[in-house]
Each structure stands twice: as C-alpha cells, then as structure tokens.
Homo-oligomer: A and B are copies of this chain.
Amino acid sequence: MEKMKRAERMVAITQVLMLKPNVLTPLTLFAEQFRTAKSTISEDLMAVKGSLLHSGHGHLETISGAAGGVRYIPEISRKEATQVLSSLAERLNDKERILAGGFLYMTDLLFDPSILRPLGLIFAGAFRDKKPDVVVTIETKGIPLALVTAEALGLPMVVIRSGNKVTEGSSVSINYVSGSSRRIQTMSLSRRALEPQQRVLIIDDFMKAGGTALGIKNLMEEFEADVVGIGILVEAQITAEPKLVEGYLSLLQLKELNPYSGKTTVVSVF
C-alpha cells in the first residue's frame, strides 16, 4: 500500500512539472502538498528522472540551495524529430499544395497545434545552448511556430509588425526588401517590446532570399539586441543564389516547386 502511494505521488509530481515546463518548483512545495519528507520527494524525483531519461521526452533539472528546486526541460528525441520532419516533408510534397503564383500552401500545418508542438521542441533543442532571452518573429504565419519554441524554452515571444501598424507607444521602423516580392516593405516594433542587450532567437516559417531575416537582424541592431540564432522551418533552395543572411538553421529545404508538372520536393535537412 505504501508503494502504491508512492506511485500516485510520482504521477502527481510528473503532472505538476510537465504542466509548467522550465518553471522551478521548490521541493518543499511537494513535501507540503504530499505531507512527506523532502528526502522522500528527492527519491521520487530520482525515479521520475529515470523514467524521463528512458522515454526521451525531456529531463529534470535539479538546483540545490535555498532558492533551488526542480524543473522539467521538455525535449524531443533525435529519432522522433527525424520522424516528425520526414512526415511533414511528405505532406508538403502533396501536389494539391501548389498555389497559383508558384507558392506552397503550408498555412494549415503552421496553424495545427499537434504539428507545431514537436517543431517547437526541435528548435528549442537546437538553440537552448545559445541561452536566448526572447524569441522574435514577424507576423503572421511564423507566430505559432515562434510561440511553441518560446514555450519549450520557457521564454516570452516578441512579434514584429509588418507595415506601421504599431499602436503601442513609440516604435522603431525599418525598410527592407523581401525576397519574394522584391518590393520595399516596412517592419516595426514597439520600443517597449525589447530591453537593450537581450539575446534574441529569430524564428520564421519560410526563407527565400533571406530579405526578411536580414530586415529583422537590422531591426534588432536598432534595439541593441544580440541575435544568437535564426531558425527557419522551410528554406527555399531552388536557385543557387546565396542568401542575404548566414548562420541560420533550417529544418526543411524546398528543392523544387513546379506548377506545371505539379511536382514539389521538400526534404528534411535536420
């Protein structure tokens, strides 16, 4: 019976930690809640740790001392990440996704929580070591991707507005040339959205020439922010032209999109 109680306690601890990823919970909180000794909680945590290690769904980080506690760092295994990206590439290669004008229809996938969640974990795993303070994206289609990445890293998200739509006090705007339209466009960010010297991870859904990513980098300089990484879901690699930015990580590459033959080739490059 005592052992059974332990199992229930372990399940409850797992729940609390998984519901608040990246949030430090003091061991005393568990000890009080389950009316048991901190040493017992420590033993429970060891077992939960072992189970997580085995499943590949993340790990527990224990911080000792008075301000210490335990937190759940969500992760995705390499094997699962590979499966997720292959299956996503396969779905994107459906010829029904070719739009007039030679665009690729991705919106339904970019707005589907069950597809987004693992993608956020993949980006989080790739950039956690860079210790970003905030995840930055530009409206509109990259927002859900940036949000799940921010959540997996335990960070806030900041969204740059296209045009001059900011109604949030003073803002900084820059002009940029997007690769797809070859037109001069404007992006803006409210002054209060970023503090100076913040470490920024840029996340976006698509990169063609890299004009938008370069624009975001330039805007970040205006905020004295430090861009520590750029993560792109799908990078177009149709021409041999070099991109306007370097050092980005893309998960998928669009190698071919032929509106006449109806053939799209997206491959996973992770």
Do A157 and B140 have beta carbons less than 8 Å apart?
A: no
Is A84 close to B, CB under 8 A? no
> By the criterion CB–CB under 8 Å, are B100 and A169 in contact?
yes
Q: Does A232 contact B (CB under 8 A)?
A: no
Q: How many residues of A contact B (CB 8 A)?
A: 56
Cα–Cα, bound, A18→B169 (Å): 40
The 6 closest A-B pairs by CB, nearest first: A113-B151, A3-B3, A7-B7, A11-B51, A111-B157, A139-B140
Contact of A47 with B140 in the complex, beta carbons under 8 Å: no
A32 to B8, CA, bound (A): 23
Q: A44-100: which have CB < 8 Å to B?
A: 47-48, 50-52, 54-55, 57, 99-100
Assess the B147–A113 pair: CB atoms within 8 A.
yes
Copies of this protein in the assembly total 2
Interface stretch, picked from A102-110, A212-220, A237-245, is: A102-110
Chain A residues 143 to 167 lying within 8 A of chain B, measured CB to CB, are 143-144, 147, 150-151, 154-159, 161, 167
Cβ B156 vs Cβ A112 within 8 A: yes
Q: Which residues of A contact B (CB under 8 A)?
A: 3-4, 6-8, 10-12, 14-16, 18-20, 23, 47-48, 50-52, 54-55, 57, 99-101, 103, 105, 107-108, 111-114, 116-117, 139-140, 143-144, 147, 150-151, 154-159, 161, 167-169, 190, 192-193
Q: Say whether B144 contacts A147, CB under 8 Å.
A: yes
9 A-B residue pairs with CB within 8 Å: A4-B47, A7-B7, A20-B114, A100-B169, A108-B193, A111-B147, A112-B157, A139-B139, A144-B157
The winner among A12, A158, A193 for most chain B CB atoms within 10 A is: A12
B167–A8 CB distance below 8 A? no
Q: Kindly provide the distance from the CB of A172 to the nearest chain B CB, expressed in whole angstroms.
A: 15
With a cutoff of 8 Å between Cβ atoms, the chain B residues found around residue A161 in the complex are 140
Q: Given that A113-B156, A117-B151 are known contacts, is A11 also in contact with B14, CB under 8 Å in the complex? A: yes
Contact of A3 among B4, B11, B101 (CB under 8 A): B4
Q: In the bound complex, what is the Cα–Cα distance between A4 and B48 (angstroms)? A: 11
